[in-house]
Amino acid sequence: MVNPSTISKDELSILLEQIHDPEIPVLTIQDLGMVRDVSWVNDHWKIVITPTYTACPAVDAILEDIGTLLNQQNIPHQLEVTLSPAWTTDWMTQQARQKLKAYGIAPPVEQSDHVCGIQLFQKEVTVHCPQCNSDQTSLLSSFGSTACKALYKCNHCLETFDYFKCH
Amino acid sequence: MPATKNTTPLIKWLFYMADSNLILSQRNSEWCGHGPVLEQDIALTNMALDQLGQARAYYQYIAHLLNQDVQSPEQYTNEDELAFLRDNRAFHNLLLCELPNGDWAQTIAKLFFFSHYQYQLLNMLTQHEDDTIRAIAIKSLKEVTYHVRWSSEWVIRLGDGTEESKTRMNNAIHYLLPYLSELFNPADYELSLKAYDIESLKEKYIAAIEDVLEKAELPIPVSFHINLIQQKGGKQGLHTEHIGFILAEMQYMQRTYPNMEW
Ligand SMILES: [Zn+2]
Protein backbone atom coordinates (compact mmCIF):
# COMPACT_ATOMS: atom_id res chain seq x y z
CA MET A 1 0.00 0.00 0.00
CA VAL A 2 1.29 3.40 -0.94
CA ASN A 3 0.45 6.55 0.89
CA PRO A 4 -0.78 8.95 -1.81
CA SER A 5 1.18 11.80 -0.32
CA THR A 6 4.43 9.86 -0.47
CA ILE A 7 4.47 8.70 -4.08
CA SER A 8 6.36 11.16 -6.20
CA LYS A 9 5.68 12.05 -9.80
CA ASP A 10 8.78 10.13 -10.87
CA GLU A 11 7.69 7.05 -8.96
CA LEU A 12 4.26 7.26 -10.51
CA SER A 13 5.82 7.51 -13.97
CA ILE A 14 7.86 4.38 -13.26
CA LEU A 15 4.69 2.65 -12.08
CA LEU A 16 2.94 3.56 -15.33
CA GLU A 17 5.67 1.76 -17.26
CA GLN A 18 3.85 -1.41 -16.28
CA ILE A 19 1.04 -0.46 -18.66
CA HIS A 20 1.48 -1.86 -22.14
CA ASP A 21 -0.33 -1.26 -25.38
CA PRO A 22 -2.55 -4.36 -25.71
CA GLU A 23 -2.05 -4.40 -29.50
CA ILE A 24 1.73 -4.07 -29.37
CA PRO A 25 2.53 -5.58 -25.97
CA VAL A 26 6.24 -4.90 -26.36
CA LEU A 27 5.59 -1.17 -25.99
CA THR A 28 4.48 0.69 -22.89
CA ILE A 29 2.18 3.68 -23.07
CA GLN A 30 5.21 5.84 -22.17
CA ASP A 31 7.21 4.38 -25.08
CA LEU A 32 4.40 5.40 -27.42
CA GLY A 33 4.14 8.89 -25.96
CA MET A 34 0.49 8.34 -25.00
CA VAL A 35 0.92 9.74 -21.47
CA ARG A 36 0.63 13.48 -21.93
CA ASP A 37 0.54 14.75 -18.38
CA VAL A 38 0.83 13.56 -14.80
CA SER A 39 0.01 16.14 -12.14
CA TRP A 40 -1.15 16.36 -8.55
CA VAL A 41 -4.50 18.17 -8.34
CA ASN A 42 -5.82 18.93 -4.84
CA ASP A 43 -6.04 15.39 -3.49
CA HIS A 44 -5.36 13.09 -6.42
CA TRP A 45 -3.13 12.43 -9.39
CA LYS A 46 -4.50 13.51 -12.74
CA ILE A 47 -3.21 11.45 -15.64
CA VAL A 48 -3.87 12.60 -19.18
CA ILE A 49 -3.77 10.06 -22.01
CA THR A 50 -4.05 10.67 -25.74
CA PRO A 51 -5.16 8.04 -28.27
CA THR A 52 -2.91 7.20 -31.22
CA TYR A 53 -5.85 7.19 -33.67
CA THR A 54 -9.40 8.47 -33.12
CA ALA A 55 -10.66 4.90 -33.24
CA CYS A 56 -7.77 3.42 -31.25
CA PRO A 57 -9.51 0.43 -29.62
CA ALA A 58 -6.69 0.11 -27.07
CA VAL A 59 -7.60 3.27 -25.18
CA ASP A 60 -10.44 1.75 -23.16
CA ALA A 61 -8.28 -1.23 -22.19
CA ILE A 62 -5.41 1.06 -21.23
CA LEU A 63 -7.63 3.23 -19.03
CA GLU A 64 -8.95 0.13 -17.32
CA ASP A 65 -5.42 -1.19 -16.75
CA ILE A 66 -4.24 2.09 -15.24
CA GLY A 67 -7.31 2.26 -13.01
CA THR A 68 -6.80 -1.29 -11.78
CA LEU A 69 -3.09 -0.75 -11.11
CA LEU A 70 -3.57 2.49 -9.21
CA ASN A 71 -6.50 1.15 -7.22
CA GLN A 72 -4.41 -1.81 -6.16
CA GLN A 73 -1.83 0.63 -4.83
CA ASN A 74 -4.47 2.89 -3.27
CA ILE A 75 -3.35 5.86 -5.30
CA PRO A 76 -6.17 8.37 -5.70
CA HIS A 77 -6.41 9.33 -9.34
CA GLN A 78 -8.49 10.71 -12.14
CA LEU A 79 -7.98 9.72 -15.77
CA GLU A 80 -8.57 12.03 -18.66
CA VAL A 81 -8.43 11.51 -22.43
CA THR A 82 -7.45 14.38 -24.68
CA LEU A 83 -7.22 14.66 -28.46
CA SER A 84 -5.05 17.75 -28.36
CA PRO A 85 -2.25 18.04 -29.18
CA ALA A 86 -2.75 15.26 -31.69
CA TRP A 87 -0.57 12.20 -31.14
CA THR A 88 2.34 11.76 -33.49
CA THR A 89 4.94 9.04 -34.03
CA ASP A 90 7.55 11.75 -33.45
CA TRP A 91 6.85 11.27 -29.73
CA MET A 92 7.98 7.65 -29.75
CA THR A 93 11.18 7.24 -27.80
CA GLN A 94 14.41 5.88 -29.26
CA GLN A 95 14.07 2.94 -26.90
CA ALA A 96 10.56 2.29 -28.26
CA ARG A 97 11.87 2.20 -31.81
CA GLN A 98 14.52 -0.36 -30.90
CA LYS A 99 11.98 -2.51 -29.04
CA LEU A 100 9.64 -2.41 -32.03
CA LYS A 101 12.35 -3.54 -34.40
CA ALA A 102 13.40 -6.38 -32.12
CA TYR A 103 9.72 -7.39 -31.98
CA GLY A 104 9.58 -7.62 -35.79
CA ILE A 105 7.86 -4.32 -36.59
CA ALA A 106 9.83 -1.74 -38.55
CA PRO A 107 9.81 1.57 -36.63
CA PRO A 108 8.74 4.84 -38.29
CA VAL A 109 11.58 6.35 -40.27
CA GLU A 110 10.31 9.80 -41.16
CA GLN A 111 9.04 12.88 -39.44
CA SER A 112 5.28 13.08 -39.22
CA ASP A 113 4.94 16.20 -41.36
CA HIS A 114 5.49 13.86 -44.28
CA VAL A 115 2.00 12.39 -43.97
CA CYS A 116 0.22 15.71 -43.99
CA GLY A 117 0.67 16.28 -47.71
CA ILE A 118 -1.75 14.84 -50.23
CA GLN A 119 0.69 14.42 -53.09
CA LEU A 120 -0.27 11.18 -54.80
CA PHE A 121 1.96 8.19 -55.49
CA GLN A 122 4.61 9.49 -53.13
CA LYS A 123 8.07 8.06 -53.37
CA GLU A 124 8.23 5.18 -50.94
CA VAL A 125 10.55 5.73 -48.02
CA THR A 126 13.28 3.17 -47.47
CA VAL A 127 12.21 0.89 -44.66
CA HIS A 128 14.68 -1.70 -43.43
CA CYS A 129 13.43 -5.24 -42.98
CA PRO A 130 13.26 -5.98 -39.23
CA GLN A 131 14.26 -9.61 -39.93
CA CYS A 132 17.33 -9.33 -42.18
CA ASN A 133 17.91 -5.56 -42.20
CA SER A 134 17.83 -5.39 -46.01
CA ASP A 135 16.75 -2.11 -47.58
CA GLN A 136 15.32 -3.97 -50.56
CA THR A 137 11.73 -3.72 -49.35
CA SER A 138 8.51 -2.58 -50.95
CA LEU A 139 5.17 -1.28 -49.74
CA LEU A 140 2.29 -3.73 -50.17
CA SER A 141 -0.37 -1.54 -48.58
CA SER A 142 -0.43 1.66 -46.54
CA PHE A 143 -3.00 -0.04 -44.31
CA GLY A 144 -2.15 -3.03 -42.15
CA SER A 145 -3.38 -5.21 -39.32
CA THR A 146 -4.04 -2.21 -37.07
CA ALA A 147 -4.57 1.49 -37.77
CA CYS A 148 -0.96 2.37 -36.97
CA LYS A 149 0.69 -0.05 -39.36
CA ALA A 150 1.42 -0.43 -43.06
CA LEU A 151 2.29 -3.71 -44.74
CA TYR A 152 5.70 -4.21 -46.39
CA LYS A 153 7.47 -7.03 -48.12
CA CYS A 154 11.18 -7.77 -47.97
CA ASN A 155 12.55 -8.65 -51.39
CA HIS A 156 15.66 -10.17 -49.86
CA CYS A 157 14.34 -12.64 -47.27
CA LEU A 158 10.85 -12.60 -48.84
CA GLU A 159 9.07 -12.11 -45.50
CA THR A 160 6.22 -9.66 -45.19
CA PHE A 161 6.39 -7.36 -42.19
CA ASP A 162 4.52 -4.56 -40.44
CA TYR A 163 5.79 -1.02 -40.62
CA PHE A 164 4.73 1.38 -37.87
CA LYS A 165 3.78 4.19 -40.20
CA CYS A 166 4.42 7.86 -39.63
CA HIS A 167 1.53 9.74 -38.21
CA MET B 1 -34.51 8.44 -26.05
CA PRO B 2 -31.82 11.05 -26.41
CA ALA B 3 -33.06 14.53 -25.73
CA THR B 4 -32.33 16.05 -29.11
CA LYS B 5 -35.08 18.62 -29.29
CA ASN B 6 -34.31 22.31 -28.97
CA THR B 7 -30.86 21.68 -30.29
CA THR B 8 -28.57 24.53 -31.18
CA PRO B 9 -27.04 25.07 -34.62
CA LEU B 10 -23.76 23.80 -33.17
CA ILE B 11 -25.31 20.50 -32.11
CA LYS B 12 -27.09 20.09 -35.45
CA TRP B 13 -23.83 20.68 -37.25
CA LEU B 14 -22.00 18.20 -34.99
CA PHE B 15 -24.64 15.62 -35.90
CA TYR B 16 -24.02 16.40 -39.56
CA MET B 17 -20.32 15.63 -39.11
CA ALA B 18 -20.85 12.61 -36.84
CA ASP B 19 -23.61 11.03 -38.91
CA SER B 20 -21.82 11.47 -42.24
CA ASN B 21 -18.78 9.65 -40.84
CA LEU B 22 -20.82 6.95 -39.12
CA ILE B 23 -22.97 6.14 -42.15
CA LEU B 24 -20.04 6.01 -44.57
CA SER B 25 -18.14 3.92 -42.04
CA GLN B 26 -21.04 1.48 -41.93
CA ARG B 27 -21.11 1.36 -45.73
CA ASN B 28 -17.37 0.84 -46.07
CA SER B 29 -17.38 -1.90 -43.46
CA GLU B 30 -19.81 -3.83 -45.69
CA TRP B 31 -16.69 -4.67 -47.71
CA CYS B 32 -15.13 -6.50 -44.78
CA GLY B 33 -14.38 -10.00 -46.04
CA HIS B 34 -15.52 -9.11 -49.58
CA GLY B 35 -12.63 -6.98 -50.91
CA PRO B 36 -11.12 -7.85 -54.30
CA VAL B 37 -7.78 -8.67 -52.65
CA LEU B 38 -6.87 -9.00 -49.01
CA GLU B 39 -4.76 -5.83 -48.80
CA GLN B 40 -7.55 -3.67 -50.18
CA ASP B 41 -10.15 -5.33 -48.00
CA ILE B 42 -7.99 -4.43 -45.00
CA ALA B 43 -7.39 -0.90 -46.30
CA LEU B 44 -11.09 -0.17 -46.65
CA THR B 45 -12.01 -1.58 -43.26
CA ASN B 46 -9.17 0.43 -41.69
CA MET B 47 -10.68 3.58 -43.18
CA ALA B 48 -14.12 2.53 -41.96
CA LEU B 49 -12.58 2.29 -38.48
CA ASP B 50 -11.06 5.78 -38.78
CA GLN B 51 -14.46 7.14 -39.77
CA LEU B 52 -16.06 5.40 -36.82
CA GLY B 53 -13.45 6.92 -34.52
CA GLN B 54 -14.11 10.37 -35.89
CA ALA B 55 -17.87 9.89 -35.54
CA ARG B 56 -17.33 8.88 -31.90
CA ALA B 57 -15.37 12.05 -31.19
CA TYR B 58 -18.30 14.18 -32.43
CA TYR B 59 -20.97 12.09 -30.65
CA GLN B 60 -19.03 12.30 -27.39
CA TYR B 61 -18.91 16.05 -27.72
CA ILE B 62 -22.64 16.21 -28.50
CA ALA B 63 -23.40 14.06 -25.45
CA HIS B 64 -21.25 16.33 -23.32
CA LEU B 65 -23.12 19.42 -24.56
CA LEU B 66 -26.58 17.86 -24.18
CA ASN B 67 -25.80 16.61 -20.69
CA GLN B 68 -24.99 20.11 -19.52
CA ASP B 69 -28.67 20.98 -19.78
CA VAL B 70 -30.31 17.95 -18.19
CA GLN B 71 -31.92 18.06 -14.77
CA SER B 72 -31.46 14.51 -13.52
CA PRO B 73 -28.85 11.78 -14.12
CA GLU B 74 -31.32 9.39 -15.79
CA GLN B 75 -31.62 11.90 -18.62
CA TYR B 76 -27.93 11.69 -19.41
CA THR B 77 -27.24 10.60 -22.95
CA ASN B 78 -24.12 9.04 -24.42
CA GLU B 79 -22.48 8.28 -27.75
CA ASP B 80 -24.12 4.86 -28.05
CA GLU B 81 -27.64 6.24 -27.66
CA LEU B 82 -26.93 8.95 -30.19
CA ALA B 83 -25.68 6.47 -32.77
CA PHE B 84 -28.09 3.62 -32.17
CA LEU B 85 -31.38 5.07 -30.95
CA ARG B 86 -32.12 7.96 -33.28
CA ASP B 87 -34.51 7.56 -36.20
CA ASN B 88 -33.64 8.29 -39.80
CA ARG B 89 -35.17 11.79 -39.77
CA ALA B 90 -32.79 12.72 -36.97
CA PHE B 91 -29.76 11.71 -39.04
CA HIS B 92 -28.07 14.63 -40.78
CA ASN B 93 -25.59 12.74 -42.91
CA LEU B 94 -24.86 13.65 -46.52
CA LEU B 95 -26.88 11.59 -48.99
CA LEU B 96 -23.57 10.75 -50.66
CA CYS B 97 -22.57 8.70 -47.60
CA GLU B 98 -25.65 6.49 -47.56
CA LEU B 99 -25.65 5.50 -51.24
CA PRO B 100 -25.05 1.83 -51.98
CA ASN B 101 -21.47 0.66 -52.50
CA GLY B 102 -22.17 -0.67 -55.99
CA ASP B 103 -19.01 -1.98 -57.59
CA TRP B 104 -15.44 -1.24 -56.51
CA ALA B 105 -15.35 1.93 -58.64
CA GLN B 106 -18.48 3.32 -57.00
CA THR B 107 -17.12 2.59 -53.53
CA ILE B 108 -13.86 4.32 -54.45
CA ALA B 109 -15.67 7.30 -55.95
CA LYS B 110 -17.79 7.79 -52.83
CA LEU B 111 -14.74 7.80 -50.60
CA PHE B 112 -12.88 9.99 -53.08
CA PHE B 113 -15.61 12.65 -53.11
CA PHE B 114 -16.16 12.49 -49.36
CA SER B 115 -12.54 12.42 -48.20
CA HIS B 116 -11.54 15.37 -50.39
CA TYR B 117 -14.45 17.31 -48.90
CA GLN B 118 -13.39 16.35 -45.39
CA TYR B 119 -9.80 17.26 -46.12
CA GLN B 120 -10.64 20.81 -47.20
CA LEU B 121 -13.25 21.28 -44.48
CA LEU B 122 -11.07 19.93 -41.66
CA ASN B 123 -8.22 22.09 -42.83
CA MET B 124 -10.42 25.13 -42.28
CA LEU B 125 -11.64 23.80 -38.93
CA THR B 126 -8.06 23.51 -37.62
CA GLN B 127 -8.41 27.28 -37.05
CA HIS B 128 -11.81 27.02 -35.34
CA GLU B 129 -12.37 28.96 -32.11
CA ASP B 130 -13.94 25.98 -30.28
CA ASP B 131 -11.16 23.94 -28.64
CA THR B 132 -12.88 20.57 -29.07
CA ILE B 133 -13.77 21.09 -32.72
CA ARG B 134 -10.24 22.26 -33.41
CA ALA B 135 -8.77 19.22 -31.65
CA ILE B 136 -11.01 16.79 -33.55
CA ALA B 137 -10.16 18.50 -36.84
CA ILE B 138 -6.39 18.38 -36.32
CA LYS B 139 -6.55 14.76 -35.21
CA SER B 140 -8.89 13.62 -38.02
CA LEU B 141 -7.01 15.46 -40.72
CA LYS B 142 -4.04 13.12 -40.38
CA GLU B 143 -6.27 10.10 -40.91
CA VAL B 144 -8.22 11.67 -43.75
CA THR B 145 -4.97 12.49 -45.54
CA TYR B 146 -4.42 8.75 -45.99
CA HIS B 147 -8.00 8.35 -47.26
CA VAL B 148 -7.54 11.12 -49.81
CA ARG B 149 -4.35 9.59 -51.13
CA TRP B 150 -5.67 6.05 -51.24
CA SER B 151 -8.95 6.90 -52.98
CA SER B 152 -7.36 9.37 -55.42
CA GLU B 153 -4.72 6.84 -56.42
CA TRP B 154 -7.48 4.32 -57.09
CA VAL B 155 -9.41 6.83 -59.21
CA ILE B 156 -6.26 7.31 -61.29
CA ARG B 157 -5.49 3.59 -61.43
CA LEU B 158 -8.99 2.77 -62.70
CA GLY B 159 -9.42 5.85 -64.88
CA ASP B 160 -6.07 5.34 -66.55
CA GLY B 161 -6.40 1.53 -66.62
CA THR B 162 -8.29 -0.68 -69.03
CA GLU B 163 -11.33 0.24 -71.14
CA GLU B 164 -13.48 -1.62 -68.64
CA SER B 165 -12.06 0.09 -65.56
CA LYS B 166 -12.24 3.50 -67.22
CA THR B 167 -15.89 2.98 -68.11
CA ARG B 168 -16.76 1.86 -64.61
CA MET B 169 -14.91 4.75 -62.98
CA ASN B 170 -16.62 7.20 -65.28
CA ASN B 171 -20.04 5.68 -64.60
CA ALA B 172 -19.45 5.84 -60.85
CA ILE B 173 -18.51 9.52 -61.02
CA HIS B 174 -21.61 10.35 -63.04
CA TYR B 175 -23.84 8.36 -60.73
CA LEU B 176 -22.59 10.31 -57.70
CA LEU B 177 -22.37 13.72 -59.34
CA PRO B 178 -25.92 14.86 -58.48
CA TYR B 179 -25.17 14.27 -54.81
CA LEU B 180 -22.18 16.62 -54.73
CA SER B 181 -24.20 19.82 -54.84
CA GLU B 182 -25.38 19.02 -51.33
CA LEU B 183 -21.84 19.50 -50.04
CA PHE B 184 -21.99 23.17 -50.89
CA ASN B 185 -25.66 23.82 -50.40
CA PRO B 186 -25.46 25.16 -46.86
CA ALA B 187 -27.93 24.01 -44.23
CA ASP B 188 -29.38 26.68 -41.95
CA TYR B 189 -27.12 25.53 -39.12
CA GLU B 190 -24.03 25.91 -41.32
CA LEU B 191 -25.08 29.44 -42.21
CA SER B 192 -25.68 30.47 -38.63
CA LEU B 193 -22.42 28.93 -37.40
CA LYS B 194 -20.34 30.76 -39.99
CA ALA B 195 -17.53 28.34 -39.17
CA TYR B 196 -16.19 28.18 -42.71
CA ASP B 197 -16.58 29.95 -46.00
CA ILE B 198 -18.53 27.57 -48.24
CA GLU B 199 -17.62 29.36 -51.46
CA SER B 200 -13.92 29.06 -50.85
CA LEU B 201 -14.40 25.47 -49.67
CA LYS B 202 -16.13 24.69 -52.96
CA GLU B 203 -13.42 26.35 -54.99
CA LYS B 204 -10.62 24.38 -53.31
CA TYR B 205 -12.61 21.18 -53.54
CA ILE B 206 -13.33 21.43 -57.24
CA ALA B 207 -9.70 22.28 -57.98
CA ALA B 208 -8.51 19.22 -56.05
CA ILE B 209 -11.06 16.89 -57.69
CA GLU B 210 -10.33 18.20 -61.18
CA ASP B 211 -6.62 17.75 -60.64
CA VAL B 212 -7.11 14.04 -59.91
CA LEU B 213 -9.59 13.52 -62.75
CA GLU B 214 -7.11 15.07 -65.13
CA LYS B 215 -4.36 12.73 -63.95
CA ALA B 216 -6.83 9.86 -64.35
CA GLU B 217 -7.55 11.02 -67.91
CA LEU B 218 -11.22 11.11 -67.08
CA PRO B 219 -13.51 13.78 -68.54
CA ILE B 220 -14.27 16.62 -66.15
CA PRO B 221 -18.03 16.91 -65.73
CA VAL B 222 -19.44 20.31 -66.64
CA SER B 223 -22.08 20.10 -63.95
CA PHE B 224 -19.37 20.74 -61.37
CA HIS B 225 -19.71 24.36 -62.23
CA ILE B 226 -23.34 24.84 -63.11
CA ASN B 227 -25.10 22.41 -60.77
CA LEU B 228 -27.51 21.02 -63.37
CA ILE B 229 -29.04 18.41 -61.12
CA GLN B 230 -29.24 18.76 -57.40
CA GLN B 231 -29.98 16.16 -54.80
CA LYS B 232 -30.33 17.48 -51.30
CA GLY B 233 -32.02 16.83 -47.98
CA GLY B 234 -29.55 14.68 -46.05
CA LYS B 235 -28.29 17.63 -44.04
CA GLN B 236 -31.87 18.28 -42.95
CA GLY B 237 -32.80 14.65 -42.26
CA LEU B 238 -34.57 13.95 -45.58
CA HIS B 239 -32.97 10.81 -46.94
CA THR B 240 -33.00 8.33 -49.79
CA GLU B 241 -34.71 4.97 -49.33
CA HIS B 242 -31.32 3.47 -48.46
CA ILE B 243 -30.99 4.96 -44.98
CA GLY B 244 -33.71 2.77 -43.47
CA PHE B 245 -31.88 -0.41 -44.42
CA ILE B 246 -28.58 0.86 -43.07
CA LEU B 247 -30.09 1.88 -39.73
CA ALA B 248 -32.07 -1.35 -39.45
CA GLU B 249 -28.87 -3.33 -39.66
CA MET B 250 -26.70 -0.98 -37.64
CA GLN B 251 -29.16 -0.35 -34.81
CA TYR B 252 -30.66 -3.83 -34.56
CA MET B 253 -28.78 -5.05 -31.48
CA GLN B 254 -29.26 -1.95 -29.36
CA ARG B 255 -32.96 -1.72 -30.21
CA THR B 256 -33.62 -5.40 -29.66
CA TYR B 257 -31.66 -5.59 -26.42
CA PRO B 258 -31.78 -2.04 -25.01
CA ASN B 259 -28.70 -1.03 -23.00
CA MET B 260 -26.85 -4.17 -24.00
CA GLU B 261 -23.07 -4.05 -23.70
CA TRP B 262 -20.37 -6.34 -25.01
ZN1 LIG C 1 14.23 -9.33 -44.92
Does the beta carbon of B41 lie under 8 angstroms from any beta carbon of chain A? Answer: no
Q: Does A101 lie in the same domain as A76?
A: no
Cis preceding-peptide flag for A85 (omega within 30 of 0): yes
What is chain B's mean pLDDT, rounded? 92
CA pair distance B46, B29, nearest whole angstrom: 9
Does the beta carbon of B56 lie under 8 angstroms from any beta carbon of chain A? Answer: yes
CA pair distance A112, A89, nearest whole angstrom: 7
> What is the model's pLDDT at position A110?
75
Count how many domains chain A has: 2
Query: What residues pair up with A39 in beta bridges, in sequence order?
Result: A46
Task: Look at residues B178, B232, B251, B240 and name the one whose alpha carbon lies nearest to residue B26.
Answer: B251
Q: Does A142 lie in the same domain as A93?
A: yes
Residue A2 counted as domain residue = no
What is the rounded (10 degree) CA torsion for B101, B107, B109, B113? 80
Q: Which among A60, A81, A102 is the end of a domain?
A: A81
Residue B261 counted as domain residue = no
pTM: 0.92
The rounded Å distance from CA A159 to ligand 1 centre is 6
Does residue B74 have a pLDDT over 90? no
Q: Does A71 lie in the same domain as A14?
A: yes
Q: Does A126 lie in the same domain as A76?
A: no
Give percent above pLDDT 70 in chain A. Answer: 93
Residue A1 counted as domain residue = no
Does the beta carbon of A123 lie under 8 angstroms from any beta carbon of chain B? Answer: no
Task: Look at residues B189, B175, B191, B179 and name the one whose alpha carbon lies nearest to residue B233.
Answer: B179
Mean pLDDT of A41-46: 94
B153 CB neighbours in chain A (<8 A) are 120-121
Convert the pLDDT of each residue in B89-131 to its tens digit.
Answer: 999 999 999 999 999 999 999 999 999 999 999 999 999 999 9
> What is the model's pLDDT at position A4?
53
Q: Which among A50, A81, A112 is the end of a domain?
A: A81
Q: Which among A81, A97, A118 is the end of a domain?
A: A81
Residue B78 counted as domain residue = yes
Convert the pLDDT of each residue in B194-243 to its tens digit.
Answer: 889 999 999 999 999 999 999 999 988 766 655 556 788 999 999 999 99
CA distance A7 to chain B (A): 32
CA distance A78 to chain B (A): 18
Q: Does A155 lie in the same domain as A100?
A: yes
CA pair distance A133, A110, nearest whole angstrom: 17
Domain enclosing residue A144, as ranges: 89-164
Q: Does A103 lie in the same domain as A121?
A: yes
Query: What residues pair up with A79 in beta bridges, in sequence order?
Result: A47
What separation in angstroms does the CA of B89 have from each of A36, B92, B143, B181, B192? 40, 8, 29, 20, 21
Does residue A126 have a pLDDT over 90? no
Count how many domains chain B has: 1
Residue B262 counted as domain residue = no
Convert the pLDDT of each residue in B149-178 to its tens digit.
Answer: 999 999 999 999 999 999 999 999 999 998
Instruction: Output phi, psi for B190, to 5 deg.
Output: -65, -40
